[in-house]
Chain A
Amino acid sequence: MIQYIDMHAVLQESISGVYADLVTRPTGRVVRERIERAIAGRGEGDTGEITVARMDFAGVGCIDYSCADEIVAKLLRDRPAVLVLSGITDGHREAIEPVLSGHGLAALIERADGTLESLGAAAAATALLDELVARRLAARRPGGTYALTLA
């Protein structure tokens, strides 16, 4: 199963006020901890399966480098996981990509047309796609692109 995470909703639950931006380390830490609890609640860690989560960034304004590291990079560093990022803007990408590359990590981006694109370190991204395909959560499309099967 792919776990769906609405990043804007998690952000709203995590901070007081009406801010739509994922900025600052403390905010990133609170958001990540909520995501970790949600993942733990599904009990996937107990089965030994790699966590697969689809993180929807629609409605999130800005994400800064600190938050990108605190959320995306740390989720990947602390457990074997496949993160599929959707609703991503160029600005989000600008913050997340160097943070992932710097750690040799990768995530996948789900484009609007459903195709998957790698973000971060190339070798790590290939392993992510292999994992999704092996678990039949993604499949190759005509033309060589990949998409989630349960989209």
Chain B
Amino acid sequence: MTRLVEVPAHFDDRSFDQFAGAFAEARRDDERLLFDAHAADWASPYGLVALLAAAQAARRPGSGAPAERPLLTAPTSPEVLSYWARAGFFREAAGLFEIHGKVPRVKAAEESEVLLPVTPVRAAEDVHAVVSKIQQRASAILASELSLDPKATMGFAMALSEACQNIVEHAGTGGWVAVQAYNWRRKLARRVVVIAVADAGVGFRHSLEPTQNKRFGDRWGDAAALEAALVQGVSRFRDPGRGQGLAGIRRYLQRWTGKIAIRSGTARIAIVPQWDDDVPLKEGLPPFPGAQVLIIIPEQGSAER
């Protein structure tokens, strides 16, 4: 028996909860999953990396045989297929899904919009590669298209590095990162650069539980874990220097009126700039494994809008 998980036609951080709800429901019976993206007409970098994380979580261990991969029905729109291919999605998806539908053989990235195609992050070496690549690609775009001070490029690379390290240090499994620039009509009618990072690992609550559970008492849960990590700079390590990463990302985003949102388990926390109307904390969301991070840096001047 195969259970269907519908991929939202417009798949981004806003529609992710709908996807997570369908995913959680479908996983109940421990049957093989079919992710149906045939009607997809757009996916943000967040949607693409989250779909890979879902596939990672949906692999069913076979009895002695290799793990059974979930199924994916590829988008039918040629434009959408082409974009997903250029964004590097299918390169990663090939090993995670049994893909149905015609997938174009397009080389990932090397266009101005895709600053970093969907890229796996499993170890520190991968973070080095990501940081090196983004500095080569992003500098001109951040300065010319987002009107960021050229100095901001290094801060951007630092923020990206820390977001990726979160996977290496805490997830207990690999994950993916993607970076893209695009016109964000929904909120700003301006250019933005978006960093999306997702994994299907242990999540913030599990990672912080041994050191933070008692401190929070009855309040302990996904939301408290996210609050501890993002707002209080708490880390699972007792080393006093830990917790620098998310604190550094927050400082960088504060300077450039950016946004960060982290979803883990059944909660989502966000540092919300003036230009956005997101809520700072959501609880009781459909469960989804691991952590999914969204960072948005807007074209400068957009904060007044």
Contacts and interface: CB of A to CB of B under 8 A. Distances in A.
A94 B158 contact: yes
A54 B212 CA distance: 39
Interface in B82-137: 124-125, 127-129, 131-132, 135
A99 interface: yes
A19 B168 contact: no
Contacts of B127: 23-24
Please indicate which of the listed interface residues B124, B151, B157 has the most CB atoms of chain A within 10 Å of its own CB: B124
B132 A69 contact: no
A16 B155 CA distance: 24
Overall SS of chain A's interface: helix
A131 interface: no
A25 interface: yes
B217 interface: no
Interface string B125-154: 101110110010000000000000001011
A94 B128 contact: no
A12 interface: no
Q: For the side of the interface on B, what is the size category?
A: 20 to 34
A137 interface: no
Contacts of A91: 151, 153-155, 158
A102 B239 CA distance: 13
A139 B241 CA distance: 33
A17 B124 CA distance: 12
A65 B132 contact: no
A80 interface: no
B124 A95 contact: no
A99 to B, nearest CB: 6
Given A61-B135, A69-B244, A74-B241, A23 B161 contact: yes
B290 interface: no
B4 interface: no
Contacts, number: 99
A89 interface: yes
A64 interface: yes
A102 B124 CA distance: 25
Please indicate which of the listed interface residues B127, B158, B165, B240 has the most CB atoms of chain A within 10 Å of its own CB: B158
Contacts of B158: 23, 62-65, 91, 94-95
Overall SS of chain B's interface: helix
A90 interface: yes
Contact of A66 (B128, B155, B157, B245): B245
Contact of A25 (B154, B165, B240, B251): B165
A45 interface: no
Contacts of B242: 69
A18 to B, nearest CB: 8
A87 interface: no
A64 B163 CA distance: 11
B286 interface: no
B273 interface: no
A146 B251 CA distance: 31
A99 B241 CA distance: 8
A33 interface: no
A21 B169 contact: no
A70 B161 CA distance: 14
B247 interface: yes
B157 A17 contact: no
A23 B131 contact: yes
A90 B151 CA distance: 7
A94 B241 contact: no
A26 interface: yes
B248 interface: yes
B151 A19 contact: no
Given A23-B165, A24-B161, A63-B158, 7 more contacts: A21-B161, A27-B124, A62-B154, A64-B157, A65-B247, A102-B244, A103-B240
12 contacts: A15-B125, A15-B128, A25-B124, A27-B124, A65-B247, A66-B161, A68-B244, A70-B241, A94-B158, A99-B241, A102-B244, A103-B240
The 3 tightest CB contacts between A and B, nearest first, are A91-B154, A65-B248, A69-B241
Interface of A: 15-17, 19-21, 23-27, 61-66, 68-70, 73-74, 77, 89-92, 94-95, 98-99, 102-103
